[in-house]
């Protein structure tokens, strides 16, 4: 009968409850290390809306897809590692399935920018590309040979847009 924090709700990219599909709330309490033994239980007065509240079904579905993918990635465990060059090739092949003409690339950039615009109001996704030019740049970055570190949430957003679910990406990766 006591409320508690769920581990799955703490994962990066989890904005909706993976079980119920509801938008999560965020604690307004800043737990500083000087007060490390002060426990906080979930309670309405210490919680705030995470990002912009939405009733748009497609936005909630998109957030749920990314939340589920984040949990699925977590469940793969630390022992699973990806060859980033192979990941880029999987992305490249998925994009080629959308079409290779200039018109198809522009259309893909527009659709990806629109997808990112749905996510942009939510804090972990506020830096996503929301226009054609930046979306095409993002896609180009993700499909070329990796030159450094790229945050996993960038990958999860692209995977959720291209494949729908992490499991379908993993099938393509294998």
Q: Which of 8-17, 43-52, 89-98 is least confident?
A: 43-52
At 104-138, the pLDDT tens digits run: 999 999 999 999 999 988 888 989 999 999 999 99
* Secondary structure (3-state) at 49: strand
Q: Cα-flanking dihedrals φ and ψ of residue 41, to 5°?
A: -100, 150
pTM for this prediction? 0.83
Q: How confident is the model at residue 78 (pLDDT cuts 50, 70, 90)?
A: confident
Of all helices (H) and strands (E), which one includes residue 130? none
Question: How are beta strands 47-49 and 25-27 bridged, if at all?
Answer: antiparallel
Helix axes 102-119 and 84-98, enclosed angle (nearest 10) = 110
Are the CB atoms for 71 and 18 separated by under 8 Å? yes
Q: What is the pLDDT of residues 16-30, one digit of tens each?
A: 888 888 888 776 666
Residue with tokens 């995470």: 50
What integer pLDDT is reported at residue 162 of this predicted model?
95
Percentage of the chain with pLDDT > 90? 48
């Amino acid at each position: 009968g006591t409320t508690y924090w769920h581990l799955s709700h703490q994962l990066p990219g989890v904005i909706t409850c993976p079980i119920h599909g509801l938008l999560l709330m965020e604690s307004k309490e800043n737990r500083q290390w000087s007060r490390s033994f002060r426990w906080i239980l979930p309670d309405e007065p210490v919680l705030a809306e995470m990002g912009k509240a939405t009733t748009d079904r497609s936005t909630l579905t998109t957030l749920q897809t990314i939340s589920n993918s984040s949990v699925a990635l977590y469940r793969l465990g630390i022992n699973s590692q990806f060859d980033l060059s192979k990941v880029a090739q999987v992305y490249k092949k998925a994009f080629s399935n959308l079409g290779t003409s200039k018109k198809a690339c522009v259309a893909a950039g527009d659709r990806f920018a629109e997808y990112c615009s749905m996510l942009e109001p939510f804090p972990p996704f506020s830096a996503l590309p929301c226009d054609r030019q930046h979306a095409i740049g993002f896609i180009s970055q993700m499909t070329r040979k990796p030159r450094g570190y790229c945050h996993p949430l960038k990958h999860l957003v692209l995977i959720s847009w291209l494949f729908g679910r992490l499991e379908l990406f993993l099938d393509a990766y294998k």
